[in-house]
Amino acid sequence: MTVAGRFAPSPSGDLHVGNLRTALLAWLFARAGGRDFLIRMEDLDRVKAGAAQRQLADLAALGLDWSPPVVTQSERLSVYAAVVEELAAAGETFECFCTRREIQDAPSAPHAPPGAYPGTCRDLTHAERAERRRHRPAAIRLRARTRTFTVHDVLHGEYRGDVDDFVLLRGDGTPAYNLAVVVDDAAFDIDQVVRGDDLLSSAPRQAYLAQRLGHPVPEYAHVPMVLNDKGIRLSKRDGAITLAQLAEHGYTAPQVLGMMAVSLGLAEPDEPVTASELLRRFDPAALPRTPWTFVGPR
- What is the CB neighbour count within 10 angstroms for residue 255? 15
Q: Is 67 annotated as contributing to ligand binding?
A: no
236 as an active site residue: the answer is yes
Q: Is 108 annotated as contributing to ligand binding?
A: no
136, 147, 152, 236: which is the annotated catalytic residue? Answer: 236
Q: Is 117 annotated as contributing to ligand binding?
A: yes
Q: What is the residue type of 139? A: A
Q: Is 121 annotated as contributing to ligand binding?
A: yes
Q: Work out the end-to-end distance of the chain between its first and last CA atoms, rounded to an integer number of angstroms.
A: 48
Q: Is 236 annotated as contributing to ligand binding?
A: yes
Residue whose C-alpha is closest to residue 221's, from 294, 144, 287, 271: 287
Coil, strand, or helix at residue 227? strand
Q: Is 177 annotated as contributing to ligand binding?
A: yes
Q: Is 10 annotated as contributing to ligand binding?
A: yes
Peptide bond just before 114 cis, omega within 30 deg:
no
Q: What is the residue type of 33? A: G
280-286: Cβ within 8 A, 24+ apart: 282/28, 282/32, 284/29, 284/32, 284/154, 284/155, 284/221
Q: Is 98 annotated as contributing to ligand binding?
A: yes
d(CA 137, CA 133): 6
Q: Is 8 annotated as contributing to ligand binding?
A: yes
Q: Is 42 annotated as contributing to ligand binding?
A: yes
User: Binding site: residue ranges?
Assistant: 6-10, 42, 96, 98, 117, 121, 177, 195, 236
User: Binding site for L-glutamate: residue ranges?
Assistant: 6-10, 42, 177, 195
Residues annotated as catalytic are: 236
User: Binding site for Zn(2+): residue ranges?
Assistant: 96, 98, 117, 121
User: Binding site for ATP: residue ranges?
Assistant: 236
